[in-house]
Amino acid sequence: MKVLVCISHVPDTTSKINFTNNNTEFDKNGVTFVINPYDEFGLTRAIWLQEKQGAHVTVINVGKAETEPTLRKALAIGANDAIRVDAEPTDAYFVASEIAAQAREGGYDLIIAGRESIDYNGSQVPGMIAAMLGWPFVNACVGLEIEGNKATVIREIDGGKEKSVVSLPAVIAGQKGLVEESDLRIPNMRGIMQARTKPLRVVSPTSSDYLTKAVAYEKPAPKAAVKMVDPENMDELVRLLHEEAKVI
């Protein structure tokens, strides 16, 4: 079985975010980049399939050369090889089409992606990949078992969970629960050394069609100052809620 895991190169959530060039470009200076957390859950599940069922795990990223350390970390965690499509990942359709092109060429049985990336939070790429390939798609996946050419999946729905069986090849969009946080792999020294020699293939994009473009970025408005009210002064609290907050 061949598994393709999509890896996004995203800013760490503790990074301070700034923009340059009149708020039209993201300032990468001083920003630490990591594997997208949702993708990391999928990668760990793929490594389990590798260890238990002999799956061959390939990781793929659409990005420029600065994303290679993130791919090398995925290799250190246990992926067999990596593909980097040499292009800026600024448009979801473009990213999905490039990953779908590599999937067709590679003959994969399963594609695992995170349900979204924590930078753009678009939740578009996995579903687009499935549509382009004509494969079954399961979103918000918190459980995955493979037996033969069938995948048993569990996904979160409003008020509960839904269990389905789909035929491979298929696309899975995972999240926390696909594996537990305590099960996420931390690269050890042996894995880091092996990652240096594992294949990382750089390919040119198949097209240059970007359907969307970010015109400008804007930070959320700063939070208003907190106004303290004496807990014994209920009249003042009610007045503030009515006259200033206008919630009552």
Q: Kindly tell me if the per-residue pLDDT of 35 is higher than 80.
A: yes
Question: What's residue 247's pLDDT?
Answer: 86
Mean pLDDT of 21-30: 88
- Residues 18 and 16: their CA atoms lie apart, in Å, by 7
Tens of pLDDT, residues 58-104:
999 999 999 999 999 999 999 999 999 999 998 999 999 999 999 99
> What is the residue type of 161?
K
For the chain, the average pLDDT equals 92
How far, CA to CA in Å, does 137 sit from each of 93, 132, 155, 171? 16, 11, 11, 5
Q: 102 near 203, Cβ under 8 Å?
A: yes
Question: What's residue 42's pLDDT?
Answer: 96
Q: 33 near 9, Cβ under 8 Å?
A: yes
Q: 165 near 150, Cβ under 8 Å?
A: yes
The listed CATH number (3.30.70.260, 3.90.1720.10, 3.40.50.620, 3.30.1490.20) that belongs to domain 2-219: 3.40.50.620
- DSSP for 92-154? HHHHHHHHHHHHHHHT-SEEEEES--TTT----HHHHHHHHHT--EEEEEEEEEEETTEEEEE
Strands 137-147 and 150-157: antiparallel
Q: 52 near 72, Cβ under 8 Å?
A: no
- Residues 65 and 17: their CA atoms lie apart, in Å, by 21
Tens of pLDDT, residues 159-180:
899 999 999 999 999 999 999 9
Q: Kindly tell me if the per-residue pLDDT of 30 is higher than 90.
A: no
Count of C-beta atoms within a 10 Å radius of residue 29: 6
Percent of the residues in the chain that have a pLDDT greater than 70, as a whole number: 100
Q: 3 near 56, Cβ under 8 Å?
A: yes
Q: Kindly tell me if the per-residue pLDDT of 140 is higher than 90.
A: yes
Q: In 3-state terms, the chain is what percent helix, strand and coil (to 5)? A: 30, 25, 45
The distance from CA 77 to its chain's CA centroid, rounded to whole angstroms, is 16
- Residues 142 and 45: their CA atoms lie apart, in Å, by 10
